Amino acid sequence: MSSTRENRRDASVLCHGLTKRYGTSEAQVMALRGVELEVMRGELLMLVGPSGCGKTTLISIIAGILDPDEGECTVLGQRLRDLKPDAKTAFRCHAVGFVFQAFNLIPQLQADENVMIPLLLNGVPRGSALSKAREILDRVGLAGRASASPTQLSGGQQQRVAVARALCTIRSSSFATSRPARSTMRPARAFSNCCGASPPVTDEPSLS
């Protein structure tokens, strides 16, 4: 019992009884049904399952961009249910990093400018944000491509920029969705080394 309590103190993500439904009446889909999850600090977690099983729904709830219908989720000791929308936005801003399935890099911005966005949102001045972004791009092996636009980058490079964007601020949790390419696995480990916990989501069992 005491070891469980100890574990819980170290857990960076703790979910209890998470339930999420989409749609109403006959068209209703049960995306999550009483999910229990505990992710320890520093743990690299892969969320694997067939398409439509609720992986994205689960990390959306953990990341604080979706509310569960039932249950509760505590991330870094913060009960998300207790947060008002603005507070939840602020929480995401300083504590959560995202690597989107389609990377979602802004095409009009250079790689380093894409990476610095979370820093700017955290109030870091542009000059410092840019140099920090370049530093992180260097860590993911893209030092020479900092001024390239996303359209000039290969798929793998775009993915690494997206990872750099998630890494660029001092984060406690980072989330990636679906099919992390093998080239991204190294940064993903770097990810888990520097961040509290990072559950990438994939429907590729071979990657687990």
Partner 1 sequence: MLTVALKMLTGDHGKYFGLILGLTFTSFFMTQQPALFLGILKNAYGFISDAGQADLWIMDPHVQYSRDIKPLSDTMLGRIRGVEGVGWGVPIYIGNAGVRLRDGTFQTSVLIGLDDATLIGGPPVMVSGSLADLKHPDGVIVNADGARGRLARPNPVAGRPRVPLVVGDVIEMNDRRAVVVGISAGGQNETGQPTIYTTYSRAKTYAPNERKMLSFILVKVKTGFDLARVIRNIRRWTGLAAYTREEFKRNTTWYLIRNIPAFTVFGLSTIIAFVVGGLIAGQIFYNFTLDNLRYFGVMKAMGATNRVLRRMIMAEAFTVGAIGYGIGIGAACLFSLAIGSRGRLVPQIPWALLVGSAVAVLALCVLASAISLRRVIRLEPASVFKS
Q: C-beta of 57: minimal distance to partner 1 in Å?
A: 8
Terminal-residue alpha carbon distance, the chain: 30
The residue (of 178 and 183) whose beta carbon lies closer to partner 1 is 178
Type of residue found at 145: R
Q: Are 132 and 123 in contact, with CB atoms under 8 Å apart?
A: no
The residue (of 127 and 144) whose beta carbon lies closer to partner 1 is 127
The residue (of 12 and 174) whose beta carbon lies closer to partner 1 is 174
By residue count, the chain amounts to 208
Residue 208 is given by DSSP the state -
Q: C-beta of 166: minimal distance to partner 1 in Å?
A: 9
- DSSP alpha helix (H) spans, 46-154: 55-62, 85-95, 111-121, 126-139
Identify the three-state secondary structure at position 46: coil
Q: C-beta of 13: minimal distance to partner 1 in Å?
A: 17
The residue (of 174 and 184) whose beta carbon lies closer to partner 1 is 174
Residue 56 is given by DSSP the state H
Residues making contact with partner 1 (CB under 8 A): 56, 59-60, 63, 65-66, 86, 89-94, 96-98, 100-102, 104, 106-109, 113, 117-118, 120-122, 126, 177
Q: C-beta of 140: minimal distance to partner 1 in Å?
A: 18
